[in-house]
Amino acid sequence: MLDAIKRLLSGPVPAQPSSAISVAPAAPVLPPDRTEAYLSGWFRRDSGELFEGFPVNAEDTVLDIGCGDGPFARFCAERGAEVIFADIDPAKVAAVQALLQDSPARGVVPLVTDANPIPLPDGRANKIVAMEVLEHVADPAQFMRELVRVARPGAQFLLTVPAPLGESVQQKLAPASYFEHPNHIRIFSAEAFEQLVLDAGLIIERQTSYGFYWSIWWCLFWACKQDLSPPWHPLLESWSQTWSQLLALPDGPRIKQALDQTMPKSQAIIARKPL
């Protein structure tokens, strides 16, 4: 379930199955710079940025901690970087290793670990990615210390956690297990998230939030009572179509930006380890 959540949050709006029952017109085919993921800052292949402000190139060594199904590791591998990907689930690590085996990555290093500690020497990586991980760990401060330890001086960090408003809504709708170990065991305010990063000794370069689409998607998902996999319920398909139609309009990206600021699903910090 956790890996499916990460894949949904990081990926594009779900594709519509050809057999879907729909009362709305089909969603338009959006150009790459009008997709939900791109407009949220993700997977900027035109600029080589995994996330806006977080470029990856062939000289980088990336640690993707809590890699799940590997969408971030795959992007970094496509850029030619050395990619270290870690997860507590051996099956996930094996699947990502298979996914990357024919990629242009400079190197591929799989790790099965709970990150306590991370089985890497000091200063091993210069790009650290921890996407929707901190809300799951028992001791976020200790987890951050490990990330900083394995990072080189000057290394850049990309960290994301769920946003508090979206989580407060989920608490009213989701099963109780969604907010129990090993799922979300804490909610970070923007201030607490920022302080956690600063207390780890990092310098914050950018702090932002995104994902109104996903905040609403999850509200609808709990109502549909389906598995976290397609074919999607017609209600979810209709929401996807509506959102795609909005993004296709001239004013769509501006409206998305306003909604993302009002009720984001996730918050992100880009930070750097001092030299």
Query: 107 pairs with which residues across the strands?
Result: 82
Q: In this model, does residue 3 exceed pLDDT 60? A: no
Query: 51 pairs with which residues across the strands?
Result: 42, 54
Angle at 217 (CA atoms; ends 246, 245), nearest 5 degrees: 15
Q: In this model, does residue 22 exceed pLDDT 70? A: no
Domains of the chain, first to last: 40-236+264-272 (3.40.50.150)
**Per-residue model confidence as pLDDT tens digits over 147-165:** 999 999 999 999 999 999 9
- What's the confidence (pLDDT) of residue 21? 32
pLDDT band at 27 (very low <50, low <70, confident <90, very high): confident
Q: What is the average per-residue pLDDT within 38-54?
A: 97
- What's the confidence (pLDDT) of residue 178? 92
Q: In this model, does residue 25 exceed pLDDT 70? A: no
From residue 188, give the alpha-carbon distance in Å to each of 123, 173, 191, 247, 267. 28, 19, 8, 29, 9
The share of the chain scoring above pLDDT 90, in percent, equals 87
Contacting residues for 248 by C-beta, under 8 A, at least 6 apart = 28, 30, 34
pLDDT band at 131 (very low <50, low <70, confident <90, very high): very high
Helix H segments across 84-233?
90-100, 140-149, 164-173, 190-199, 212-224
Q: What is the average per-residue pLDDT within 185-207?
A: 98
Mean of the per-residue pLDDT values of the chain: 91
* Strands ordered across the beta sheet of 49-51: 42-44, 49-51, 54-55
Q: In this model, does residue 16 exceed pLDDT 70? A: no
Are 144 and 113 in contact by the 8 Å Cβ rule? The answer is no
Name the least confident of 35-39, 91-95, 180-184. 180-184
Task: Provide the residue type at 238 as one letter.
Answer: S
Tell which residue, 180, 204, 182, 209, has the closest CA to residue 268. 209
Q: In this model, does residue 9 exceed pLDDT 70? A: no
Q: What is the average per-residue pLDDT within 95-116?
A: 96
- CA-based max dimension of the chain: 57
Contacting residues for 190 by C-beta, under 8 A, at least 6 apart = 163, 164, 207, 209, 267
Are 65 and 157 in contact by the 8 Å Cβ rule? The answer is no
- What's the confidence (pLDDT) of residue 29? 86
